[in-house]
Chains A and B, each alone.
Chain A
């Protein structure tokens, strides 16, 4: 029989340091994770919930992230949560850019081009959309995308190639 002893530390200073670290992560990456979740689910509401869920998980699991890989790790967690949300049927329909537009900042000028690019991308199958987004917007390499989406590098290359073609056709219509 193995015996473990857990003690509840009430060290205020330690708690505050951790609190600060999580909040810093949120302030640094909230928009990036939100955009990624929007591109994945097509839903503003679900994307917000996913980002909130992610940070509460970080806290509950007491996960400590190294600087060098923190963003990639958060992106991977976001991808997993998006998959869970889609699988659970929490995302019922993919909204068009019009549905998103109302919530953009007051200083943002929306163009017809934005609508075309967004709606064209969201019309792509999820399998093509995510690698395209991560490559074009985030600038990740095929290898990094493979790690985030947990698929092979060759699958990433194939999906980006086919997705790019499909996107181009949609945008030309």
Chain B
């Protein structure tokens, strides 16, 4: 039986044309994937919060326009862009506030003075969306998703022109580093690349 399965499946190989396509996609992605060097994180390096500036050429171009501009997140933190010669520096300050709190198996979103029960909107593939517009016209969009046992949040920042400039998130991932389904779904719905090639391709159309 073992030999029969081996003989059969050994004949199944990926189409060479498709392989070339994927090699090209890998090459193209590498060009757009800048290396992030994390420094000055100090004792906070073990925090489970992920911070990300979109590593796309378009975002970098936007960033270059924001020399020393500061964007504020809803938790009181923010991101400051600074162009330094051949490098762009993103200085990110995380706020002290935790957006999500679990009380009696209910999920609450805490933003400013607001405390919203978002339990019903949240699930493995569903999320609650909250938007806050700042005085300078920039927007902070917060998603809360998951269950009381594995809840998480994602915050996306957009400038006054609607360009996506920054995200921070605290989301559970599996052993392979995959985030829950609601994360990709929420980012995609907001028009932001999430790393899922199929969804991201749709955005490019």
The chain A residues found within 8 Å of chain B, CB to CB, are 1-11, 14-15, 18-19, 22-23, 26, 30-31, 34-35, 38-39, 47-49, 51-53, 55-57, 59-63, 73, 76-77, 80, 84, 87-88, 90, 100, 103-105, 108, 110, 113-114, 117-118, 121, 132-133, 136-137, 150, 164, 167-168, 171
Contacts and interface: CB of A to CB of B under 8 A. Distances in A.
Interface stretch (B1-9, B106-114, B138-146, B157-165): B1-9
A90 to B, nearest CB: 8
A18 B8 contact: no
B202 to A, nearest CB: 13
Given A2-B93, A7-B89, A110 B35 contact: no
B5 A3 contact: no
Nearest to A52: B22
Given A2-B93, A110-B11, A117 B60 contact: no
What does DSSP make chain A's interface, helix, strand, loop or mixed? Answer: helix
Given A1-B96, A8-B60, A80-B174, A34 B25 contact: no
Nearest to A77: B176
Contacts of B13: 31, 34-35, 104-105
Nearest to A55: B26
A9 B87 contact: yes
A21 to B, nearest CB: 10
CB-based closest 5 A-B pairs? A2-B44, A136-B5, A34-B14, A19-B30, A9-B35
B205 interface: no
A23 to B, nearest CB: 6
Contacts of A121: 5
A76 B175 contact: yes
Contact of B12 (A7, A15, A104): A104
A66 to B, nearest CB: 15
The CB with the most chain A CB atoms within 10 A, among B4, B37, B39, B47, is that of B4
